[in-house]
Amino acid sequence: MPVFYGTEVVSRLMLGTAQYPSPAILAQAFRRSGAGIATVSVRRETGEDRAGQDFWDLVAGLGVKILPNTAGCYSVREAVTTAQMARELFDTPWIKLEVIGEGDSLQPNPFELVDAARILVKDGFQVFPYCTEDLVLCDKLVEVGCEVLMPWGAPIGTGLGLNNVYGLRALRARFPDIPLVVDAGLGLPSQAAHAMELGYDAVLLNTAVAKAGDPAAMAEGFARAVEAGALAYTADPMAPRDMAAPSTPVLGKAFL
């Protein structure tokens, strides 16, 4: 199982908590998925008048590790302030750091992301940066103290899967000892399995489960796919080849 900042989690599947049809369905999805981490937007919570407390009680009752995020932040200042609020609300040094740079694709701003990560690491946070698969950017994030990288598969909420398999494979090769999580863009369990077959440690998704006709069933489907992909990677799969090769040997075959 993956280890993040010294903490081993019980599953390679991480789920978001937004957009579900009801709190009951959210809870069912987590139960059937066996997900080990739930991401929560700080914007869903507030310290005033216990607003959002019912949602927090529900998430706390899931019995999983909480990973607050800075979703919707577009600047270093906004992201850092949101992270500090999250630490107070959820009593954890973990933070999924999002600093968006482009509104249509929700692509991270690489410059602001590195600056925010540097500030938060110095402040004692354990940062999970939502980033692209850019090797230079990821080098900088590791240099400032990030011990996990979370490259996107595709833009958030698109369900397009792994848009740049070459880039994700290169990132795995470049950082063999850094936990890598494909975050965003997955729409089908087969895409999650593909990410694990590349050697990734976990996947994080939300929309593909929350917006499915049966979120709980889809969550279970993703859980099974993630484990299948991880097993395939560790089993050292065969390399593809151009020419056909018979699975039944011809040695000893009678010539008539």
Helix (H, G, I), strand (E, B) or coil at 182: strand
Angle at the Cα of 167 from the Cα atoms of 162 and 169, rounded to 5 degrees: 85
154-165: string of b/e by CB count within 10 Å (b at 16+)?
bbbbbbebbebe
Instruction: Given the residues 65, 96, 211, 253, select the one marked as catalytic.
Output: 96
Predicted model pTM? 0.90
To the query of whether residue 96 is one of the catalytic residues in this protein, the response is yes
Q: Annotated binding residues, as ranges?
A: 157, 184-185, 206-207
Amino acid 50: pLDDT: 46
Q: Annotated binding residues for 1-deoxy-D-xylulose 5-phosphate, as ranges?
A: 157, 184-185, 206-207
Domains of the chain (ranges, CATH numbers): 3-235 (3.20.20.70)
Q: What is the pLDDT along the chain (256 residues), one digit of tens a residue?
A: 899 999 999 999 999 999 999 999 999 999 999 999 999 988 655 544 444 667 778 888 888 999 999 999 999 999 999 999 999 988 999 999 999 998 889 999 999 999 999 999 999 999 999 999 999 999 999 999 999 999 999 999 999 999 999 999 999 999 999 999 999 999 999 999 999 999 999 999 999 999 999 999 999 999 999 999 999 999 998 888 888 888 877 666 666 6
Amino acid 253: pLDDT: 67
Amino acid 52: pLDDT: 60
